[in-house]
Homo-oligomer: A and B are copies of this chain.
Amino acid sequence: MSDQKSNHDTRERILDVAERLFMAHGYEGTSMRMITTGAEVNLAAVNYHFGSKEALLREVFRRRLGWLNRERLQVLDALESEAAGAPLKPSQILEAFFGTLLRIGEDSSLGGMTFLRLLGRTLTEPAEFIRTFFASEYAEVIDRYKQALFTALPDVPKAEIVWRLHFMLGAMSYAIAGTDVLRVVTGCELGDLAGEGTADAVDDPALARRLAQRLMPFLLGGLRAPLPLGLESRTFSLASSSEDDAQAQTPNHLQEKQS
């Protein structure tokens, strides 16, 4: 009751409410009045503390992405220095990149499932300033991990790695953002399917752990899939020779079945 609580209190309360509402209704679908009413502050408070609605959104993300970016770079640094020059295994890289992200969902002080879902959903927002913001926020980390994958998979065309990184980002982004979408589409609750009964488990931190356990093998399987026809140029070695990354190397007969 002593320290200047009002400042911090108002700012944080606005950020918390905005985070939740942006997640539920998107950027354009969330009005200043919804935010200020939910945070029980005056309408002018957002513009006073943050300057504008756009700046508020940026601050909502900056508050969380700082930790994420730092952690991602740090984990990758640790892996690379531990490997002492030897190329990393793809599984290690994916675990560092996606595992770090999914750990946010387990820790409410890092944003929890709310921020995780907001992040996944906002990546597909069409507004220009949002794209620009994410491009600058993500550029360094994405580039580091891209290079790490290039080194880990020297015989795979770089274009193919970028495509698959794109696919992996999509699978994860959609998976965390659209849990309710799938629930509606499939007509059954994910928790039930997974054997855990709690109905409103969307915000459950345990969901993040289960999601990670499910998502990681899927992503790794996709990353190490056989190359598309016409691209197995060199010796075919998507999977490295290290023990746990060994994988069958069967050609795929998926393409041109009926077109």
Contacts and interface: CB of A to CB of B under 8 A. Distances in A.
Interface in A158-203: 158-160, 162-175, 177-178, 180-182, 184-188, 190, 193-195
10 contacts: A24-B126, A26-B28, A26-B127, A103-B259, A123-B181, A124-B178, A163-B194, A216-B252, A221-B221, A222-B225
A7 to B, nearest CB: 31
A194 B159 contact: yes
Query: How many interface residues does chain A have, given as a range?
Result: 35 or more
Given A217-B226, A224-B221, A225-B221, A193 B162 contact: yes
A25 interface: yes
Contacts of A253: 91, 244
A121 interface: yes
A46 interface: no
A89 to B, nearest CB: 9
Interface of A: 24-26, 28-29, 91-92, 94-95, 99, 103, 121, 123-127, 131-132, 134-135, 138-139, 142-143, 146, 158-160, 162-175, 177-178, 180-182, 184-188, 190, 193-195, 212-230, 244, 246-248, 250, 252-255, 257-259
Contact of A219 (B124, B222, B259): B222
Contacts of A214: 160, 163-164, 167, 228
Copies of this chain, tallied across the complex: 2
A95 to B, nearest CB: 5
B248 A246 contact: yes
